[in-house]
Amino acid sequence: MLDRRRFNALLAGAAGWVALGRSGTGAAFAQERARGAVYAAVGARLYRIRRDGDTLVREPRPLVLPEQVHEAWQHPSGRYFYVASSDQRTTPGNGRHHYLNAFRVDSSGGLQPFGNAAELPHRPIYITVDQRGEYVLSAHSFPSSITVHRLNADGSIGDRVEQRASLDAGFYAHAIYLM
């Protein structure tokens, strides 16, 4: 039987296959931008999936994050990758550890941890980086809220930006779109 995790891993692989293309100039450009890598998470393990000819190959050794991976986002430069993790599953209130981690992306698409993990106040549902690569934003479902962290010049996670006014994030903040 195809469970949710296997389906999502296959979906990520298929999306990467399409993004990387099979041949031609467009494929080379897409591969250069993506650095030839797709990432898939199973629990706290983050696997790199690379293209080897006409085959997708999962790297044997995953990165292991402090908690279950919930979301990931690439820096606009392509040189950094951010991953949000949490020990909370779906029931509000049972998780106590929520993190935002930074990774350097090497020329092969491999990830190298760097900087200190930032603690998040609540379970992260979604993260994104602004177009200039200066901030990473996290959406939290319970309580419904948004957290903003500065990104340092080296791509590491900086200080949390405290909000002066309370923000109405709705009943269940689940995405952030910057325009």
Q: What is the dihedral of CA 16, 50, 89, 84, to 10 degrees?
A: -90
The predicted pLDDT at position 177 comes to 78
Q: Is the pLDDT of residue 20 over 50?
A: no
End-to-end CA distance of the chain: 40
- Beginning with the edge strand found earlier in the chain, give each strand of the sheet holding 124-129 in spatial order: 124-129, 135-141, 144-151, 157-160
**Tens digits of per-residue pLDDT, 150-164?**
999 999 999 999 887
Task: Give the E-state strand segments of 22-160 in sequence order.
Answer: 37-42, 45-52, 55-58, 63-64, 68-74, 80-86, 98-105, 111-113, 118-119, 124-129, 135-141, 144-151, 157-160
Is the predicted pLDDT of residue 21 greater than 70, yes or no? no
Compute the mean pLDDT over every residue in the chain, rounded to the nearest whole number.
80
- Which tens digits make up the pLDDT trace of 122-144? 889 999 999 999 999 998 888 88
Q: Is the model's pTM score more than 0.85? A: no
Give me the mean pLDDT over the 54-67 stretch: 89
- What's the mean pLDDT in 42-55? 88
Read off the pLDDT of residues 64-78 as tens digits, 9 standing for 90 and up. Answer: 998 999 999 999 999
∠ CA 58-59-60 to the nearest 5 degrees? 110
8 A C-beta contact, residue 107 and residue 138: no
